[in-house]
């Protein structure tokens, strides 16, 4: 970033999003947003994930002139949101439902600076191989599934569950890099290759 670029703040407690944003060669600070993530009655998954990204930005509105970037990711099967598992039984139910099927992963990103705000929605289709009960139970004995939408982490062991991805893998992890880079550029923050002096 040059001196004319706004300060960048990532409004997320997710270490995965911070790691992805760092790949763009940008300096940023991190502030977590604490909001109610309960879906509204009859709200579509697409509307839900965009509302979550916007509400995270609104919750952190008092950060001055900085550019705030927030995001939300949800896994959707048969138009039903598959959130973070409540317990082992819930995680088993989610993974059994995803087994040998395709599902949607929606990530919304929101950039906000002062009164200006823009939200972008990214859809990725993920197809799982068949998961045996033994494989599901073994996976649930790891630390991976418990704070993840859909009870899996594609960047971890669950990557071996995935037969096919149509769309952005980084979006499934939590931050679609192409769309994030393009969105930040519209607000005056240009991503850099590491080591670039241009």
Q: Which fold, 8-186?
A: Maf protein (3.90.950)
Q: What is the dihedral of CA 148, 149, 151, 156, to 10 degrees?
A: -50
Quote the percentage of the chain above a pLDDT of 70.
94
- How is the chain split into domains, by residue range? 8-186
Helix (H), strand (E) at residue 165? strand 162-166
**pTM as predicted:** 0.91
111-162: pLDDT as tens digits: 999 889 999 999 999 999 999 999 999 999 999 999 899 999 999 999 999 9
Catalytic residues: 72
């Amino acid at each position: 970033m040059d001196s004319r670029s706004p300060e960048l703040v990532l409004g997320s407690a997710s270490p995965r999003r911070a790691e992805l944003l760092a790949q763009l060669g940008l300096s940023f600070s991190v502030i977590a947003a604490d909001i109610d993530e309960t879906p509204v009655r009859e709200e579509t998954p697409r509307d839900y994930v965009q509302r979550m990204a916007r509400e995270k930005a609104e919750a952190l509105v008092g950060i001055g002139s900085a550019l705030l970037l927030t995001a939300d990711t949800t896994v959707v099967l048969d138009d039903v949101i598959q959130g973070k598992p409540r317990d082992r039984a819930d995680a088993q139910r989610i993974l059994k439902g995803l087994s040998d099927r395709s599902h949607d992963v929606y990530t919304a990103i929101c950039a906000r600076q002062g009164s200006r705000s823009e939200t972008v929605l990214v859809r990725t289709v993920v197809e799982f191989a068949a998961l045996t009960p033994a494989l599901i139970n073994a996976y649930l004995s790891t630390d991976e599934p418990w704070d993840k939408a859909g009870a899996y982490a594609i960047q971890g062991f669950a990557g071996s569950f995935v037969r096919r991805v149509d769309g952005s893998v980084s979006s499934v992890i939590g931050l679609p890099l192409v769309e994030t880079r393009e969105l930040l550029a519209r607000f005056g923050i240009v991503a850099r290759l590491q080591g670039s002096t241009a």
